[in-house]
Structure 1
Amino acid sequence: MAMRKRHATGYTLIELLAVLAIASTLLIVAIPMFRTQVQNSRMSAAATDLLGTFMSAKAQAIGRNYPVKVCISNNAPDSDDIDCVTNGQWEDGWLTFVDLDADGTLDDGEEVIQIHPPLAENITARSSRTGAGTLENSVTYQPNGLTDLTATREIFICNSARYGVTARVLIVSILGKASILRDEDVEEDGCLSD
């Protein structure tokens, strides 16, 4: 009887170790890049949410023929105490309402159009300072589509966990136009400070 020679099938230990080494190297490189991509996506989403809010507020003011205010809120959507605040940041959430009596405060009988929750963790949204050094905490759109601003304002949307990353800047003009830009110079703009 003749013996048949069998060929070994499968992988050797050295081949498996080589594949594991390559795979682990790829993961070491890919995971930080993935985290950065997720944070950039969150910044873009926050900027887009704010932009949509301002564009909607302008359209609502024109359509209803009443002032519509967008302001930083105390973010209490489950209570009757929802209101604008003067000491918060845009990242804490915001509120949009029809200001029927044009007094700048949310009164009984005034319709709340939108309550936006706080932004994702590590995402900040901070207003630029006015000439007097105060921060803008609200924008009111008039029935003609113009704002109550005295100058163009910027809201910087950043990842607070990383310095030197590209931020998004929401720009709101006196004329009521809102737009988003990318900002490569985050640290100088003071986006990450209070």
Structure 2
Amino acid sequence: MDRMLGGSHTMVINNANNVLLFSVSTVPLSIQTELQSYKKKYRTPIKRSKSRSCLAAFTLVELLVTLCVLSILLMVAIPAFRTMVLNNRLASNTDSLVNALNYARSTALNQAMTIKVCPLGSPGSTTCGADWSSGWIIVTQPTSGAATLLKSQQSTNVDPTLTGNTTEVLFDRYGLSTTQSNFTLCDNRGGTFAHSVEVLATGYVQTGTTPGQAVWNNGSLTCP
């Protein structure tokens, strides 16, 4: 930077914050030329930053296309998700019934007494109900004295409907069942997706591997 001080031409050069002050009138021409070259060489350029930022935006057409694609994805995903939830619910309730029957059998063997599985009457009661769809209870059948409630499960409005060909399942002290018992679990999709459970006279509990097919005769399942 050049400044005029007291009528004399004075040159100020700023290089790395070190200020050099020269009076041009007292400096030879050759040195003045070098100083001018030095000034141009070490002049720090001023960088200007962009103060404006570009904002991206959707056009109306792009927005409509996005909404259409999203709608198609939802139309495909929602039914598939609903099917998965219903299938998992059927499998979960089937496993609960199988576990309950196996528990009743093992308890009969361990305690050397008859154990009964029957429909739920009222919560907390050892009295059997008449409808398997309300749930089930597991109670002891002692030769003397009152029965004891071992386990119970109450069905909800979203649970599959449970039906059976018998009003109770009995396991004696040897783990045997008095009769063969068949159970069907259905949801609102009908027999095509229904699950089946069978209790053999030997006390063995088995479940069907194919939805809609009865484990006891491989026939088609029907729902109420």
Give the TM-score of the pair, scaled to structure 1. 0.77
- Counting only pairs closer than 5 Å after superposition, residues 126-137 of structure 1 correspond to structure 2 as 126-127=163-164, 135-137=165-167
Residue matched to 1:32: 79
Residue matched to 1:77: 123
**1:46 CA drift (Å):** 0.9
The 8 Å contact of residues 212 and 220 in structure 2, kept in 1 or not, is answered as no
Residue matched to 1:132: none
Q: Report whether the alignment pairs 1:123 with 2:160.
A: yes
Q: Report whether the alignment pairs 1:153 with 2:185.
A: no
Residue matched to 1:130: none
Q: 1:51 to 1:185 in 2, by over 3 A?
A: closer
Instruction: Give the secondary-structure state (helix, strand or coil) at the position aligned to 1:51.
Output: helix
**Count of residue pairs the alignment pairs up:** 169
Q: 1:136 to 1:14 in 2, by over 3 A?
A: same
Q: 1:41 to 1:120 in 2, by over 3 A?
A: farther
**1:109 CA drift (Å):** 2.7
Instruction: Give the secondary-structure state (helix, strand or coil) at the position aligned to 2:95.
Output: helix
Q: 1:6, 1:144 → 2: CA distance?
A: 83
**1:180 CA drift (Å):** 1.6
Q: Which has the higher contact order (CA 8 A, sep 6+)?
A: 1
Structure 2 residue ranges without an equivalent (≥5):
1-51
- Deviations 1:45-86 (CA, angstroms, capped at 9, x unpaired): 110110010000011000111110001121x215xx54113x
- Deviations 1:88-131 (CA, angstroms, capped at 9, x unpaired): 2x2211110110028xxxxx63211011102442611111xxxx
Letter of the structure 2 residue corresponding to residue 138 of structure 1: E
Q: Report whether the alignment pairs 1:189 with 2:217.
A: no
Instruction: Please say which structure displays the higher CA radius of gyration.
Output: 2
Structure 1 residue runs of 4+, over 4 Å off? 5-8, 185-188
Letter of the structure 1 residue corresponding to residue 151 of structure 2: Q
Q: 1:44, 1:140 → 2: CA distance?
A: 24
- Deviations 1:19-67 (CA, angstroms, capped at 9, x unpaired): 1111111111211221121111111111011001000001100011111
Q: Report whether the alignment pairs 1:95 with 2:142.
A: no
Q: 1:121 to 1:12 in 2, by over 3 A?
A: same
The 8 Å contact of residues 212 and 221 in structure 2, kept in 1 or not, is answered as no
Structure 1 residue ranges without an equivalent (≥5):
103-107, 128-134
**1:7 CA drift (Å):** 5.8
The 8 Å contact of residues 126 and 148 in structure 2, kept in 1 or not, is answered as no
Residue matched to 1:65: 112
The 8 Å contact of residues 91 and 119 in structure 1, kept in 2 or not, is answered as no
Q: 1:41, 1:156 → 2: CA distance?
A: 16
- Counting only pairs closer than 5 Å after superposition, residues 173-188 of structure 1 correspond to structure 2 as 173-181=200-208, 182-185=210-213, 188=220
Q: 1:66, 1:122 → 2: CA distance?
A: 32
